[in-house]
Chains A and B, each alone.
Chain A
C-alpha cells in the first residue's frame, strides 16, 4: 500500500465550477500537508501548506486536513481555465536535518471554458 493515495483523474469540469481534489494517507506521523500545482512540462510549485487539522483559505483555494480520518482535500472555487494543471498532494515528516516529502501521484485537472 502506498503511503499517499491520490486519484489520478483526469478530472474535467466547466469554468466556474467548484473543484474538489482529495488524498488519503496511512502514516500518522505526517506533520505537514501541502498541495503543489504542476503545469504541463514544468516543475511543481507550492500552492498551499498547512500543519494542522481544519481549513486554510487563500483566495479561491481552500486546503482541508482531517488527521483523524487521514484525509486531505483541496477546493478550488470559481475555477478558471488557467487552473488546468496536475495537482499533487504532499506530506512530510522531519528526518534529521532534512525534510523528505512524500508526494501523491497527482490528479490531472482540466477546466473547460
Chain B
C-alpha cells in the first residue's frame, strides 16, 4: 500500500497563476483533509471532506477550492495564487466517524513569487 500520495512534490508559481494539488489514498478511508504548514503556525486545516460527496471549510479556506473526486481522491485548487499562499501543503486521511488518527502524505512545497 502506498498510503497517502501527493503530487507534485515541489511547485513554483507566479502571482495570479492557478494550479491544482492532487491527493490520493489507498486505505479505503472515508475522510480526507488538506492542511498548510507555516513556520511558527503549525498545521492549519484548509478544507476537509467527511465522506465522498461532501466538503467543508476549515480554519483557513480563503483563496482555495476543493473537489472530492471519488473516495480515493481529494484535490486542492488555487485559482489565483498569492505570495501569502507560499507554504507546505499536506493531505491527510482517516476512517472518519470519530477516528482520530490521521495519516499524512509527504507534502507539496509551494512557492508563489
Contact = CB atoms under 8 A, between A and B. Distances in A.
A44 B100 contact: no
Nearest to A92: B100
Contacts, number: 61
B2 interface: no
B7 interface: no
Contact of A94 (B58, B94, B98, B102): B98
B38 to A, nearest CB: 9
Contacts of A106: 42
Task: Give the interface size bracket for A toward B.
Answer: 20 to 34
A73 to B, nearest CB: 18
A49 B104 contact: no
Contact of A8 (B4, B40, B105): B40
Task: Give the interface size bracket for B toward A.
Answer: 20 to 34
A9 to B, nearest CB: 11
B48 interface: yes
A91 B4 CA distance: 22
A75 interface: no
B40 A34 contact: no
Contacts of A92: 100
Interface of B: 4, 31, 40-45, 48-51, 56, 58, 90, 92, 94, 96-102, 104-107
